[in-house]
Amino acid sequence: MAVLEIVTVGDPVLRERARELSADELRSDEVQRLIDDMIETKRAAHGAGIAANQVGRALRVAVVEVEPGNPRYPYKPIVPLTVIVNPEIEPVDDELFAVNEGCLSVPDLRGDVDRHVNVRVRYLDRDGEPHEEVRRGLTAGTFQHEVDHLDGALFLDRVRDPSTFSTWEQFDRHRRAEFEQRARALVERVGS
């Protein structure tokens, strides 16, 4: 396994729609190694997720995982390692929540993005097995963020109020307390 370079905003690969993987491609050593490397890269960077575009490959595969004690997102519920291949996502209802997001490909910037609170996700795991799950709250937001990457979108595109942009240091100073309170109340109410 290897820690890969994470590309940053401005690299055209982040604006590509990643293409679906065939069953044969998914089984290949090359793609299985890519998945292992994405997991290691995500863990090394303490991200909540990573999409293949972010390591320079426009393929529809992403990894979501929030480990206990994640220093970037201490308020996010724990999410076991989930590899999603060819994912499709749809809202379950109309409820939205303003999530303050960051991204490994957008260094030192955060902003408020409206995300669906309840989404249905269909995907293949790394063994090609199909899954269908409902994800809720901040976890639903993380899945939407990763599927956005696969569609060539960044959280920057979805920030409605540019005055919510902040560095991570300024977020800690001025926004974290209020956001964490709202986020924890959401997680308590809807789960993950």
Catalytic residue IDs: 146
- The rounded distance, in Å, linking the Cα atoms of 95 and 114 is 10
- The rounded distance, in Å, linking the Cα atoms of 60 and 25 is 11
- The rounded distance, in Å, linking the Cα atoms of 35 and 15 is 20
CB 103, min distance to Zn ion, A: 3
CB 189, min distance to Zn ion, A: 25
CB 78, min distance to Zn ion, A: 19
- For the chain, the C-alpha Rg in angstroms (whole number) is 16
62 binds Zn ion (CB under 5 A): no
CB nearer to Zn ion: pick between 24 and 71: 71
| Stretch of 57-65, 73-81, 96-104, 120-128 contacting Zn ion, by CB under 5 A | 96-104
| Stretch of 15-23, 36-44, 100-108, 118-126 contacting Zn ion, by CB under 5 A | 100-108
* Parallel, antiparallel or unpaired: strands 61-66 and 49-51: antiparallel
CB nearer to Zn ion: pick between 24 and 99: 99
Interior angle at CA 134, CA 60 and CA 15, nearest 5: 25
